[in-house]
């Protein structure tokens, strides 16, 4: 039996950072990973590879080179799926190596195999290469991630019908595709393939895309996706999905029939808890099959923690890393990282990309917050004109009484980078005066913060102020 201070099950962002954090402070850490590679879905089948495909789609479609959306969305001549996937494979390999090096540098004892609880302190590992190991520890961190949800009546075959993991191993660039699901994954892949000239139909069960976004940003995304050539179907769901040897036939509940070469079903993800034997450790699951935790990421068994996708929302790599660190610091009473900040950024890598942090207009109304809005458009920014981004928008939401910044919402080039300026202002309880008093490099997209701040003051005063 191997004795550790901490056992980490899963090597995704929460597991890697939690393990490294504990090891950095001198704790003996054992990690179990049942996949072939370290890094979890973040590195191998989710965030990193899908964002690489986005960049490849932008490159091969020529959208960035032409400087303007909407000129020519045909593929470069001779483009193969190997071309499309090449850079993704290279980056994923580099990121796997980086995670592995980090674990080795912190002397984490990495074991490849499937872990299951024997009791609340003991984990048995069925090693991939054969044999078993029995591990025991004072503390355990669950970070097993998630997997695509497969409706039982959908014949996934990874040739015609794909999920959000297997789409990355597609052996061809199809002529047409139906994407079921108007969430983040569905919108991201739909825009990527549309940029490559694939005829894409995006089906959303609700009446808008990404309903958690500020409605103005969601509406702009809809317009841009339609400009890319997507066909959008709202308030409808598949009644059946079948293959016919040549492609996919989707019959909608409305009676509409969609025939395409391929289908991507992005109907959500489920926490990976199968085979863990959680009942032996005394851990119960929620109605959504997630592991319930408190503010310190403790489960109902105080010395067992959980972080990342396995605990549900927000299920982002960025937040998962910090959850793992906070959990470990609490477990060992390390006076280092005690909490996650309240202002957590959201990045959506559609074409164009979207990012947001803080309150929306809708949440302000629901909370009866008296607010005002300031906007800046890429078309009025010199750098925006240079990069050909003429449809983007930065939207600031702030309190009317003290001008404190409440929310930042952005759609357009580099939105996922630029949002952090506003995020820090929110976290430091700053406001519109801080943005106006700041000096930004010119010409840059960051200047839009000042433009939006002046616009907001003008709206508050009932007239438009000139940019100062």
The predicted model gives 230-247 an average pLDDT of: 95
Q: Phi/psi of residue 28, each to 5°?
A: -85, 120
The predicted model gives 130-146 an average pLDDT of: 97
pLDDT at 77: 59
Residue limits of CATH 3.50.50.60 in the chain? 2-148+270-331, 161-267
Residue 405 has pLDDT above 80, yes or no: yes
Higher pLDDT pick, 464 / 24: 24
Q: From CA 390, how far away is CA 19, in angstroms rounded?
A: 44
* CA-closest candidate to residue 79, choices 63, 61, 67, 91: 61
The predicted model gives 30-52 an average pLDDT of: 93
Residue 229 has pLDDT above 70, yes or no: yes
Residue 71 has pLDDT above 50, yes or no: no
Which tens digit of pLDDT belongs to each residue from 255-296?
Answer: 999 999 999 999 889 999 999 999 999 998 998 899 999 999
Q: From CA 343, how far away is CA 358, in angstroms rounded?
A: 6
46: pLDDT confidence band, cut at 50, 70 and 90?
confident
63: pLDDT confidence band, cut at 50, 70 and 90?
low
Q: Can you tell me whether residue 405 is helix, strand or coil?
A: strand
Q: How far is CA 391 from the centre of its chain?
A: 23
In terms of DSSP bridges, do strands 109-119 and 122-127 run parallel, antiparallel, or are they unpaired? antiparallel
pLDDT at 64: 57
2-148+270-331 to CATH, choices 3.50.50.60, 2.30.110.10, 1.10.8.640, 3.40.30.10 = 3.50.50.60
161-267 to CATH, choices 3.50.50.60, 3.90.1150.10, 3.40.50.12160, 3.40.50.1000 = 3.50.50.60
% the chain with pLDDT above 70: 95
Residue 141 has pLDDT above 70, yes or no: yes
323: pLDDT confidence band, cut at 50, 70 and 90?
very high
Residue 36 has pLDDT above 70, yes or no: yes
Average model confidence (pLDDT) for the chain?
92
pTM over cut 0.95: no
Burial of 417 from C-beta contacts in 10 A (0-12 / 13-18 / 19+): middle
The predicted model gives 362-378 an average pLDDT of: 97
68: pLDDT confidence band, cut at 50, 70 and 90?
very low
Residue limits of CATH 3.30.390.30 in the chain? 352-461
Q: Can you tell me whether residue 319 is helix, strand or coil?
A: helix
The dihedral of CA 209, 213, 215, 220: what is its sign?
A: negative
pLDDT at 73: 44
Q: From CA 41, how far away is CA 96, in angstroms rounded?
A: 11
* CA-closest candidate to residue 371, choices 434, 438, 459: 459
The dihedral of CA 106, 109, 112, 117: what is its sign?
A: negative
468: pLDDT confidence band, cut at 50, 70 and 90?
very low
Query: Which architecture characterizes domain 352-461 according to CATH?
Result: 2-Layer Sandwich (3.30)
Residue-by-residue DSSP string for 230-261: -EEE-S--EEEEEE-SSSEEEEETTS-EEEES
In terms of DSSP bridges, do strands 146-148 and 132-142 run parallel, antiparallel, or are they unpaired? unpaired
67: pLDDT confidence band, cut at 50, 70 and 90?
very low
Which tens digit of pLDDT belongs to each residue from 13-22?
Answer: 999 999 999 9
pLDDT at 55: 87
pLDDT at 2: 96
């Amino acid at each position: 039996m191997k004795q550790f201070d901490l056992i980490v099950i899963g090597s995704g962002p929460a597991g890697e950072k939690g393990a490294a954090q504990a090891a950095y402070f001198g704790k003996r850490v054992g990690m179990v990973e049942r996949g072939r590679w370290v890094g979890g879905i973040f590195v191998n089948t989710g965030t990193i590879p899908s964002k690489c495909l986005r960049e490849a789609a932008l490159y091969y479609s020529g959208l960035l080179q032409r400087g303007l959306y909407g000129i020519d969305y045909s593929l470069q001549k001779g483009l193969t799926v190997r071309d499309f996937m090449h850079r993704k494979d290279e980056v994923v390999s580099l990121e796997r190596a980086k995670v592995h090096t980090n674990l080795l540098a912190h002397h984490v004892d990495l074991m490849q195999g499937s872990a299951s609880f024997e009791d609340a302190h003991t984990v048995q590992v069925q090693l991939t290469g054969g044999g078993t190991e029995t591990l025991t520890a004072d503390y355990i961190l669950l970070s097993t991630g998630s997997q695509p949800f497969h409706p039982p009546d959908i014949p996934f075959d990874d040739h015609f019908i794909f999920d959000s993991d297997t789409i990355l191993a597609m052996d061809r660039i199809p002529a047409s595709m139906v994407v079921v699901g108007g969430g983040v994954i569905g919108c991201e892949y739909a825009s990527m393939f549309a940029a490559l000239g694939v005829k894409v139909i995006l089906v959303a069960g609700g009446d808008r895309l990404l309903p958690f976004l500020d409605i103005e940003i969601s509406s702009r995304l809809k317009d841009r996706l339609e400009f890319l050539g997507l066909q959008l179907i709202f308030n409808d769901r598949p009644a059946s999905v079948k293959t016919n040897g040549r492609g996919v036939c989707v019959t909608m509940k409305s009676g509409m029939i969609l025939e395409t070469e391929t289908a991507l079903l992005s109907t959500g993800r489920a926490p990976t808890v199968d085979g863990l034997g959680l009942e032996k450790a005394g851990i119960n699951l929620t109605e959504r099959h997630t592991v319930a935790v408190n503010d310190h990421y403790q489960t109902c068994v105080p010395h067992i923690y959980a972080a990342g996708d396995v605990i549900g929302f927000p299920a982002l790599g960025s937040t998962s890393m910090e959850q793992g660190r906070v959990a470990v610091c609490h477990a060992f009473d390390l006076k280092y990282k005690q909490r996650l900040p309240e202002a957590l950024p959201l990045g959506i890598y559609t074409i164009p990309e979207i990012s947001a942090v803080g309150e929306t207009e809708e949440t302000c109304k629901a909370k009866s917050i008296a607010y005002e809005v300031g906007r800046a458009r890429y078309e009025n920014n010199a750098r925006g004109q240079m990069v050909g981004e003429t449809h983007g928008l930065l939207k600031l939401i702030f309190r009317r009484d003290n001008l404190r910044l409440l929310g930042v919402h952005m759609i357009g080039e580099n939105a996922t980078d630029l949002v952090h300026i506003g995020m820090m202002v929110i976290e430091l309880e700053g406001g519109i005066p801080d943005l106006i008093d700041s000096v930004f490099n010119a010409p840059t997209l960051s200047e839009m913060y000042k433009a939006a701040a002046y616009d907001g003051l003008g709206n508050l005063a009932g007239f438009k102020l000139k940019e100062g």
